[in-house]
Amino acid sequence: MKWSDLQIFAAVARTGSFNAAAQELGVTQPTISRSIKKLELEFNISLFNKYQSGAEITSYGERLLDDVLAMETNASAIQNSVKMANKPLGGHVSLQGTPGLLYHWIIENLDLLTERHPKINMMFLVTDSPEARSVKTDFRISYILPENSELKVAKIGTLHSVPYASEAYFKEYGVPETLADLKQHRTVDHVVSPKDDTFPQHTLLRGRTNIVHSSNDGTIQAKLVSQGRGIGVLAAGAHRLYPNILTVPIEELRASSPLYLSYRPELEVSPIARAVIRWIRYIFKEQYSPYFEDVLNEEDLPQYQPK
């Protein structure tokens, strides 16, 4: 059974005539007759009652016609979907996340979305900012599992935190190898509100070290670490942005947490939203970046090598 034969069958049913169907499709009348005959032999049924005035569809033919029309509708929908896939999408989408993820990963990889869909306009909202609390965000990336059970939630990666210090710091103060060693070192802390302490990174240094500087902004913390002002627990991969920082070999100062993407289920029907979802999933895939894998590969982290 060929799709072309079914299309001819539908044309005969629609026009009520073999000759009219042939004219509509731009083929010969014998071609129409052969296709109908092939279908009747294959299904072992009669599809039309043939008269001099035309062709009347049988009850068997009506059942087949319902299925063929449904197939035509689906085929048309597929064609439209493919055509849309080849056209840039446009519209407004909001995405909420932590400052570090937005500054140093999401926005750094925005070209992967906008080069394909230049008319998609993104609004980036920092988690817990006044704007984020007042705006109904389309998407949210967080290491905290959303409490709203109505949201669609998907794990997109793992956020790892690793202790870093600059090469200049190691040269001046040495390399700590245990928690006890930290008491003789300087650290830069990331200060956050108590409700954010669910992520271990935010408490790893407290009470253990001589905290000389602190900030509630991870970007400022990373900058202070890169300046050699102390040891700081930063997101794995921070050395990509600050090439002079290296990892500190203290396992107890590491922490990991799943990263979740959440959004309202009804967004999945929007081609624009689906494009954003594909983009987000892609940039957190381990094939694209090793720093969001469930288990970090030590070879991807720079180590201090005394000269």
Beta strands in 109-205 (DSSP E): 119-126, 139-142, 152-166, 186-190
Would strands 232-235 and 152-166 be described as parallel, antiparallel, or unpaired?
Answer: antiparallel
Q: Give tens-digit pLDDT for 245-297.
A: 999 999 988 988 899 999 999 988 888 999 999 999 999 987 788 899 989 88
Q: Give tens-digit pLDDT for 81-95.
A: 665 555 556 789 999
For the record, the structure tokens of 119 come out as 């008319």
CATH 3.40.50.2000 fits 91-307, yes or no: no
| Distance between CA atoms of residues 13 and 48, nearest Å | 8
Q: How many CB atoms lie within 10 A of CB 194?
A: 7
Domain spans of the chain? Answer: 3-85, 91-307
CATH topology of domain 3-85: Arc Repressor Mutant, subunit A (1.10.10)
The CA-atom distances, in angstroms, between 290 and each of 88, 111, 143, 174, 246 are 30, 19, 18, 28, 17
Q: Give tens-digit pLDDT for 228-242.
A: 999 999 999 999 989
Percent over 90 (pLDDT), the chain:
46
For the record, the structure tokens of 228 come out as 């050699």
Q: How many CB atoms lie within 10 A of CB 218?
A: 23
Shared fold status for 3-85 and 91-307 = no
Asked whether 271 and 159 are in contact (CB, 8 A), the reply is no
Q: Give tens-digit pLDDT for 95-146.
A: 999 888 898 899 999 999 999 889 999 999 987 655 555 567 899 998 888 8
Flag whether pLDDT at 198 surpasses 50. Answer: no
Tell me the whole-structure pTM to 2 decimals: 0.66
Can you tell me whether residue 192 is helix, strand or coil?
coil
Indicate the pLDDT class of residue 210, thresholds 50, 70 and 90. Answer: confident
Rounded mean pLDDT of the chain? 85
Asked whether 253 and 204 are in contact (CB, 8 A), the reply is yes
